Amino acid sequence: MALEKYGRFSDDGREFIITRPDTPAPWVNYISNTRYTGIVSHTGGGFSYWMDPRDSRITRFRYNSLPWDRPGRYIYVRELDGEYWSLSWQPVPKDLDFYECRHGMGYTTITTEYRNLRGEITYFVPPDDDLEIWRIRLQNKSYEERRLSLFSFVELCLGHALVDLINQPNDQHFNIVKYDREHKAIYATKNYWVTYKEATVKQPNQAWNKYVFFTTSLPIISHDGSKDAFIGKWRSESNPEGVERGVLAETDITAGDACAALHSEMTLGPHEEADFIVLLGCVDAEGYRDKAHPIIQKYLDLRNVESSFADVKRYWDSYLSSPQVETPDQNMNLMLNTWAKRQAWVTFNMNRNAGYYHGGLLFGVGMRDQCQDMMGPLLAEPDTVADRLLEVLSHQFTDGSTLHNYFKLTGQGEKTGHSDTPLWLPLAIMNYLKETGDFAFLDKTAPYQDGGEGDVRQHLERAIEYTLSNLTPNHLPKFGPGDWNDTLDYVGRKGIGESMWVAEFLCFILRESADLLERIGAAEKATYYRREYDLIARALNERCWDGEWYIRGTRDDGGVVGSSKNTEGRIFMNAQSWAVISGIALPDRASQAMDSAYRLLGTERGPQILAPAYRHPDPGVGLATRCVPGKKENGAIFNHVAAWAILAECVLGNGNRAYEYYRQTMPNNQAHDPDVYKMEPYVYSEYVTSPEHETFGQASHSWLTGSGVWMLRDGLDYILGVRPTYDGLMIDPCIPSDWDGFKITRRFRGAIYEIEVKNPNHVQKGVKRIEVNGKEITGNVLPLATEGELLRVTCILG
């Protein structure tokens, strides 16, 4: 398989093993305890931050110089003859005798061999303390004694990453880096810290509230705090003067570009091995020495490092333990058991913010993204999700509108008026209730962004009623400055254009909320929501059916988007898939809409978001039309959209087509030619270029995309069909007809369900018989069980 040109999954699927360093792009991983986070590439590149990659940044990264993957977390090795190299290939890219990078669950290990010296460096973040640990093992594979100089190096940012990026000549005047001889550590901070978005509005009168520490378990011979001194004039990380000289210049800085570099020496006898540790972390600025010292002492002890590393592994074993699936498709098993879950954990915690391929320094936590990302951790950590939900609800206003995004450290955000944003809150609340059955959550309270507080049920209803209060005379939602699709940003800015997709999404939320409200005795409200559902569904069917599919919207200027009347952007997938998911499509139209989408949007690598792509900028539509055709929201194979198409096909019972889309879009399939695909083969990318561009098949924006979590839930809940309902776990598979069956083990409300689904008649959908512990049950919702109970379930399709 061509994927193996650069790497493969480990046998247990928990690692992606990169076998040569010159991958088509940096392939990255995350190390994080959710407070301290590092993004680590397979060449040691990447950056670290505390809580927020914009506001509290520890190390730098030069985004615009990609694919040059710099800087990072580097260890240089230098021998007596002056030859030097780095343990992670970059930044001194020698022709290594051996190279391997294992991106695992919460850690990355890079192993290299050069000049008969094997170096293994593992990067991870322990669960309990806010630092990253580099555990290094060196092995002299020769018969000669080796005298090695070792230099550990990071380039520091210290505080607000955006200000550092755009205003470095000024920002550097506030840097402080000093070597503390008593603690044998470098400490660094910045005497100035911008904590709000518009840095120019008002000069803040404050220092960064963190101190960074950097140290190693080896005796320290020399150090540098000045990047200029370490790198030297007209040089780069590839040939730093300090390393070439063999001793560092002992610089501390009070102004200038900051780094932390430490120099140690080690002698290794023939075939001797040695371990050492490097620590990079941060503590609160107040009393920083007293705070950092115990952490440093703790983790300079290898036993504590080993036990923390075991904790990371234990955490991930537990996190991934449920659900576990066995389907006939090995790639699907890999994604559902491990990598899509891992990706969803990352998106839940890092949002669209901390990546190589996202300009997320600007965006913070997107409300809509966060509400969707919750569907991942919900499987393993519902309590964490409940807390996050309350945090998200606190960014809703009393009228039901919401911030569009917020920054974790400052709590500040923007109110943009996107027409979909408020509606994601009810979805997240209902998902939580279905998984947990914790109806008492509805009575919990959360503040409103503009003062006062309300219980969760009130937050839910206000989101819906805010959207209902903003309908046009046609009883359809206004488009506003965008809906889920951020790039349809000029369709309805004047408040006239309508979003059919928001109408469908609103219908879905109304139907689901009415079910919930009825269940908790709020019959009158439920009836109101159902009546609204009917009115909007009728408006959609009367006004928005184009003949073979549903249109995407109407424009402020009276035009239409996503219609056969258009020459570009004639059909959009979301308008078809959500017509089905929301149930608004009349039965014959539902199939016809999805068939039209299959015919007009399908490619061999998955369905396009829209087609044909826009080739002329249209100021009445917006950004999508300005983007190059075939990429991003202008006609790419947009995986988030593909995930909803899969869901819709499952609703219609088309297991073969749902699986066709699913198989096409899985990254481990997509990347069958990694030189074309370019991104990591182990996580979803936001999009893959469609045939409307010459780079067809090239992926972009890996890791931080909602498609990871939707593909996870599509696979588990809709294709395998084992999904939570308020009453219990439902079994409703929609699989390809050539499957003989599959197995899935899932924890649900404390009990374990071991489920085997058999498909003797090779159908795509339809449950014929279910037995629980040998006894047939009525219907397809499994009985609830007590904590720890194991239920063996057999389901026959037919």
Tokens 């939707």 sit on residue:
710
Q: How far is the CB of 759 from ligand IFM (least distance, A)?
A: 35
Alpha helices in 469-572 (DSSP H): 500-519, 523-543
Beta strands in 621-721 (DSSP E): 637-638, 685-688, 699-702
Cβ proximity to ligand IFM, 123 vs 644, nearer residue: 644
**Binding pattern for the stretch 672-711 against ligand IFM, x by CB under 6 A and - elsewhere:** ----------------------------------------
For the chain, the first-to-last Cα distance in angstroms comes to: 36
Please report which helix (H) or strand (E) contains residue 675, including its range. helix 674-677
CA distances from 666 to 421, 547, 671 (A): 27, 32, 9
Chain CA centroid to CA 332, Å: 19
Shortest distance (Å) from residue 420 CB to ligand IFM: 8
With the C-alpha atoms ordered 123, 126, 132, 133, is the resulting torsion angle positive or negative? Answer: negative
Of residues 345 and 424, the one with the C-beta less far from ligand IFM: 424
> In 3D, which of 115, 94, 79, 105 has the Cα closest to residue 43?
94
Q: What is the DSSP string of 42-74?
A: TTSB--EEES-TTTSEEE---GGGTTS--SB-E
Q: With beta carbons less than 8 A apart as the criterion, state whether 335 and 747 touch.
A: no
**Tokens 């007590």 appear where?**
786
Binding to ligand IFM by CB under 6 A, coded x per residue (else -) over 716-735, reads: --------------------
Q: What is the Cα–Cα distance from 218 to 273, expressed in whole angstroms?
A: 14
- Contact, 234 vs 161, CB < 8 A? no
Polymer length of the chain: 798
Which helix H or strand E contains 154, and what residues bound it?
Answer: strand 146-159
Q: Which is nearer to ligand IFM, 680 or 686 (CB)?
A: 686
Closest by Cα among 688, 51, 112, 792 to 349: 51
Identify whether the C-beta of residue 6 lies closer than 8 Å to the C-beta of residue 80: no
Peptide bond preceding 328 in cis form (omega within 30 of 0): no
Identity of the residue, 485 or 654, whose beta carbon is nearer to ligand IFM in the bound complex: 485
Sole window of 46-54, 364-372, 501-509, 763-771 interacting with ligand IFM (rule: CB under 6 A): 364-372
Q: Give min distance, CB of 368 to ligand IFM, in A.
A: 5
- Spatial contact of 555 and 620, defined as CB atoms under 8 Å apart: yes
Would you say 130 or 568 has its CB closer to ligand IFM?
568
Minimal CB distance to ligand IFM: which residue?
A: 486
Minimum CB separation of residue 57 from ligand IFM in Å reads: 22
Binding mask 163-182 for ligand IFM (x = CB under 6 A): --------------------
Taking the C-alpha atoms of residue 136 and residue 251, their distance in angstroms, rounded to an integer, is 25
Question: Measured from the CB of residue 487, what is the shortest distance to ligand IFM in angstroms?
Answer: 6
Residue 7 corresponds to which tokens in the numbers above? 């790497």
Binding string, residues 313-342; x marks residues near ligand IFM by CB under 6 A: ------------------------------
Nearer to ligand IFM by Cβ, of 87 and 711: the residue is 711
Angle between helix axes 573-581 and 639-652 (nearest 10 degrees) is 40
791 Cβ contact list (under 8 Å, min separation 6): 751, 752, 753, 754, 772, 773, 782, 783, 785
Q: Which stretch binds ligand IFM (CB under 6 A): 46-54, 93-101, 307-315, 362-370?
A: 362-370
- The residues with which 7 forms a beta bridge, in sequence order, are 18
Q: For residue 406, state whether it binds ligand IFM (rule: CB under 6 A).
A: no
Total residues at interface with ligand IFM (CB under 6 A): 9
Residues 342-361 that bind ligand IFM (CB under 6 A): 352
486 vs 732 by CB, closer to ligand IFM: 486
- Contact flags string 474-493 toward ligand IFM, x per CB under 6 A: ----------xxxx------
Residue 423 to residue 400: CA distance in whole angstroms: 9
Binding to ligand IFM by CB under 6 A, coded x per residue (else -) over 521-550, reads ------------------------------
Site for ligand IFM in 617-646 (CB under 6 A): 633
DSSP 337: I
Q: Which is nearer to ligand IFM, 193 or 501 (CB)?
A: 501
Nearest CB to ligand IFM, comparing residues 279 and 647: 647
Catalytic residue, candidates 486, 546, 618, 732? 486
52 binds ligand IFM (CB under 6 A): no
Q: Does 369 bind ligand IFM (CB under 6 A)?
A: yes
- Here the tokens at position 178 are 């000093």
Q: Is 486 among the residues known to form the active site?
A: yes
Closest by Cα among 440, 358, 438, 368 to 704: 358
**Nearest distance, CB of residue 705 and ligand IFM, angstroms:** 7
Give the residue, chosen from 106, 119, 281, 366, that forms a contact with ligand IFM under the rule CB under 6 A: 366
The rounded distance, in Å, linking the Cα atoms of 459 and 399 is: 9
Q: Which is nearer to ligand IFM, 257 or 369 (CB)?
A: 369
Stretch that binds ligand IFM, among 133-141, 328-336, 365-373, 391-399 (CB under 6 A): 365-373
Contact range with ligand IFM by CB under 6 A, out of 366-374, 407-415, 614-622, 748-756: 366-374
* Smallest gap from residue 451 Cβ to ligand IFM (A): 27
Task: Report in angstroms how near the CB of residue 641 gets to ligand IFM at its nearest.
Answer: 8
368 scored as a contact of ligand IFM (CB under 6 A): yes
Q: Binding marks (x or -) toward ligand IFM, 240..269, rule CB under 6 A?
A: ------------------------------
Decide whether 223 or 352 has the Cβ nearer to ligand IFM: 352
For 263, half-sphere exposure in the C-beta direction (CA atoms, 13 angstrom radius) is: 20
- Name the minimum Å distance from CB 396 to ligand IFM: 17
226 binds ligand IFM, rule: CB under 6 A: no
Cβ closest to ligand IFM, residue 108 vs residue 702:
702
Q: Name, in order, each residue with C-beta under 8 angstroms of 444's C-beta and a sequence gap of 6 or more.
A: 386, 390, 455, 456
Q: How far is CA 205 from CA 192, 202, 208, 223, in A?
A: 7, 9, 10, 31
Q: How far is the CB of 643 from ligand IFM (least distance, A)?
A: 12
Residues within window 434-453 making contact with ligand IFM, judged by CB under 6 A: none
Pick the closest to residue 732 from 665, 784, 771, 782 (CA basis): 782
**445 alpha-carbon distance from chain centroid:** 28
Positions that interact with ligand IFM (CB under 6 A): 352, 366, 368-369, 484-487, 633
Catalytic residues: 486
